[in-house]
Structure 1
Amino acid sequence: MEALKDILSVDTEILGGQPVFSGTRVPIETLFDHIEKGITIDEFLEDFPGVSKKQVLALLEVANKLVTAGNIEKLYEIAS
């Protein structure tokens, strides 16, 4: 798996510190908005050519690991 810094970055100088795909100004949230609307990853990549498929797949892997049973209790603690 890629290093997190290769997938996303947070910089107060870029979109006020909103997490974006590294090397771009594309918010991470935009990917999830697209998926929520039924837009495919390939269509997302067409809309945002600065984002690589490798970044998208790595981000989804990170998201998957965050919500697995072993980590879900930590998420509940953070969200409380």
Structure 2
Amino acid sequence: MLRTDLITIDPETVSGTPVFTGTRVPIKNLFDCLTGNYSLAEFLEDFPTVERAQAEAVLELAMKCLLPEYLHVQPAQIDFSFAHKPGHETAA
């Protein structure tokens, strides 16, 4: 089991899907809602066991994992070619 103050991954909880700590709400639900044009407020209304601070911290963590200024590399150093290979299409 992996548990932080933000995310828990436990085979006994939602089959090991990463969830917000202290809940059974998968982290993926946050990103699904936001990409589906739901606001953060709507997500929190639909999933009342998730606290605003938790959701904001997960979004900040994702930002720090993905943006070059947090990765300490220049954009040209990141190889995104995998995104254009067959089988790695992104949803429109």
TM range (shorter): 0.7 to 0.9
The residue number in structure 2 matching 1:27 is 26
Is residue 2:11 matched to residue 1:9? no
Runs (5+) with no aligned partner, structure 1: none
Structure 1 runs (4+) deviating above 3 angstroms are: 71-74
Q: State the alpha-carbon separation in 1 of the partners of residues 49 and 7 from structure 2.
A: 13
Q: Please list every run of 5 or more consecutive structure 2 residues that lacks an aligned counterpart in the other structure.
A: 81-92
- How large is the Cα RMSD of the aligned pairs? 2.0
Question: What letter is aligned with 1:47?
Answer: D
The equivalent residue for 1:53 is 52
Aligned length: 72
| Distance across 2 between alignment mates of 1:63 and 1:28 | 11
Percent identity, aligned pairs only, is 42
Work out which of the two has the higher radius of gyration on C-alpha atoms and give 1 or 2. 2
**Cα deviations across residues 2-38 of structure 1 (Å, max 9, x unaligned)?**
xx71111000000110000000000000000000110
TM-score, normalised by the number of residues in structure 2: 0.71
For the structure 1 residues 38 and 12, does the alpha-carbon distance in structure 2 shift closer, same or farther, using more than 3 Å as the test? same
Distance 1:9 1:46, change over 3 A: same
When you count helix as a share of all residues, which structure comes out higher?
1
